[in-house]
Structure 1
Amino acid sequence: MMLLNTLLDELTGRGSGTEAERYERYKWLEQLRFTNPQAAEGGSMAGIPYYQWCRLPQALSVAGQHTDLLVGTTSSHYLVFEGRHAAAFAAELGLQYDANNRIDRPGGLDELLEAYEEQPDGSWATLPNEPPAPPQAGWDDVYFRVRDLSDGRTIQSVTTIAYESSRFPGYTLLGTTMVGVGAIVHDDETAEYLQQIFADWAIQRDCAATCPTSSTPWPCTPRQAPPLPSGTPFDFGRNLAYLDALLAAYVRAQARAQDDGGDSAYWACAAASVAYQVFSLRYTAGLPLPEVDSALEAAVAACETARAELAAAYDDDALPAFDFEQLTDYARTLQLLGATLLFGRHDLTARIAALQTAFDGEDGVYEALLATIDPQRPAVDEWYFAEPYSALYDCLDENDPAQQLEHLRQYLASWHGALVREDWFNGHLRAHGLGGYYGLWAFEAAAVAKHLSLDRSALAHWVMPPSP
Structure 2
Amino acid sequence: MMLLNTLLDELTGRGSGTEAEQQERYKWLQQLRCTNPQAAEGGPMAGIPGYYWSRLPQALTVAGQQTDLLVGTMNAQYLVFAGRHAAAFGAELGLQYDANNHIDRPGGIDELLDAYEEEADGSWTTLPAGQPAPPLAGWDDVYFRVRDLSDGITIQSVTTIAYESSRFPGYTLLGTTLVGAGAIAHDDETAQYMQQIFADWAIQRDCAASCPPSSTPWPCTPRQAPPLPSGTPFDFGRNLAYLDALLTAYVRAQARAQDDGGDSANWACAAASVAYQVFSLRYTAGRPLPEVNSALEAAVAACETARAALAAAYDDDALPAFDFEQLTDYARTLQLLGATLLFGRHDLAARLAALQTAFDGEDGVYEALLSAIDPQRPAVDEWYFAEPYSTLYDCLDEADAAQQLEHLRQYLASWHGALVHEDWFNGHLRAQGLGGYYGLWAFEAAAVAMHLGLERSALAHWVMPPSP
TM-score calculated relative to the size of structure 2: 0.95
Q: Give the drift of 1:31.
A: 1.8
The aligned residue for residue 119 of structure 1 is none
Q: Distance in 2 between matches of 1:292 and 1:368?
A: 25
Q: Distance in 2 between matches of 1:179 and 1:329?
A: 25
Please give the residue correspondences for 1:24-423 in structure 2 after superposition, counting only pairs within 5 Å.
Answer: 24-113=24-113, 132=122, 134=124, 137=127, 138-178=138-178, 181-423=181-423
The aligned residue for residue 124 of structure 1 is none
Q: Does the 8 A contact of 1:113 with 1:136 survive in 2?
A: no
Q: Distance in 1 between matches of 2:153 and 2:118?
A: 51
Amino acid at match of 2:124: P
Q: Closer, same or farther in 2 for the Cα pair 1:115/1:400, shift >3 Å? A: farther
Q: Distance in 2 between matches of 1:130 and 1:358?
A: 42
Q: Give the drift of 1:115.
A: 7.8
Q: Distance in 1 between matches of 2:88 and 2:419?
A: 32
Q: Does the 8 A contact of 1:39 with 1:51 survive in 2?
A: no
Q: Distance in 1 between matches of 2:402 and 2:359?
A: 32
User: After superposition, what is the alpha-carbon deviation per residue over 1:215-253, rounded to whole angstroms, capped at 9, x for unaligned?
Assistant: 111011111111111111000000000000000000111
Q: Closer, same or farther in 2 for the Cα pair 1:62/1:196, shift >3 Å? A: same
Amino acid at match of 2:91: A
Amino acid at match of 1:359: F
Q: Distance in 2 between matches of 1:260 and 1:188?
A: 17
Task: Name the stretch that deviates more: 367-376 or 107-116.
Answer: 107-116
Q: Give the drift of 1:182.
A: 3.0
Q: Distance in 1 between matches of 2:139 and 2:107?
A: 14
SS at match of 2:124: coil
Q: Give the drift of 1:17.
A: 1.6
The aligned residue for residue 133 of structure 2 is none
Amino acid at match of 2:462: W
The aligned residue for residue 17 of structure 2 is 17
Q: Does the 8 A contact of 1:156 with 1:181 survive in 2?
A: no
Task: Name the stretch that deviates more: 130-139 or 277-286.
Answer: 130-139
The aligned residue for residue 122 of structure 1 is none
Q: Does the 8 A contact of 1:135 with 1:428 survive in 2?
A: no
Q: Give the drift of 1:83.
A: 1.6
Q: Distance in 1 between matches of 2:460 and 2:414?
A: 14
Q: Closer, same or farther in 2 for the Cα pair 1:136/1:425, shift >3 Å? A: farther
User: After superposition, what is the alpha-carbon deviation per residue over 1:193-218, rounded to whole angstroms, capped at 9, x for unaligned?
Assistant: 11011000000000000100001110
Q: Distance in 2 between matches of 1:130 and 1:52?
A: 44
Q: Give the drift of 1:178.
A: 4.5
Q: Closer, same or farther in 2 for the Cα pair 1:180/1:110, shift >3 Å? A: closer
Q: Distance in 2 between matches of 1:2 and 1:302?
A: 53
Show structure 1 runs of 5+ residues with no match.
Answer: 117-126
Q: Give the drift of 1:114.
A: 6.3
Task: Name the stretch that deviates more: 35-44 or 436-445.
Answer: 35-44
CA RMSD of aligned residues (A): 1.7
Q: Closer, same or farther in 2 for the Cα pair 1:179/1:293, shift >3 Å? A: closer
Q: Closer, same or farther in 2 for the Cα pair 1:53/1:159, shift >3 Å? A: same
Amino acid at match of 2:283: Y
Q: Distance in 2 between matches of 1:52 and 1:466?
A: 50
Q: Closer, same or farther in 2 for the Cα pair 1:81/1:409, shift >3 Å? A: same
User: After superposition, what is the alpha-carbon deviation per residue over 1:146-193, rounded to whole angstroms, capped at 9, x for unaligned?
Assistant: 011111111100000001122222211100014894311111011001
Identity %: 88
Amino acid at match of 1:28: W
Q: Give the drift of 1:24.
A: 2.1
Q: Give the drift of 1:446.
A: 0.5
Q: Does the 8 A contact of 1:149 with 1:156 survive in 2?
A: yes
SS at match of 2:29: helix
Aligned length: 458
Q: Does the 8 A contact of 2:51 with 2:74 survive in 1?
A: no
Task: Name the stretch that deviates more: 226-235 or 32-41.
Answer: 32-41
The aligned residue for residue 453 of structure 2 is 453
Q: Does the 8 A contact of 1:37 with 1:43 survive in 2?
A: yes
TM-score calculated relative to the size of structure 1: 0.95
Q: Closer, same or farther in 2 for the Cα pair 1:135/1:293, shift >3 Å? A: farther
Q: Give the drift of 1:26.
A: 1.8
Q: Distance in 2 between matches of 1:114 and 1:263?
A: 37
User: After superposition, what is the alpha-carbon deviation per residue over 1:292-346, rounded to whole angstroms, capped at 9, x for unaligned?
Assistant: 1000000000000000000000000000000000000000000000000000000
Q: Does the 8 A contact of 1:155 with 1:185 survive in 2?
A: yes
Show structure 2 runs of 5+ residues with no match.
Answer: 128-137
Q: Give the drift of 1:51.
A: 4.3
Q: Does the 8 A contact of 1:307 with 1:319 survive in 2?
A: yes
Q: Closer, same or farther in 2 for the Cα pair 1:244/1:128, shift >3 Å? A: closer
Task: Name the stretch that deviates more: 39-48 or 214-223.
Answer: 39-48
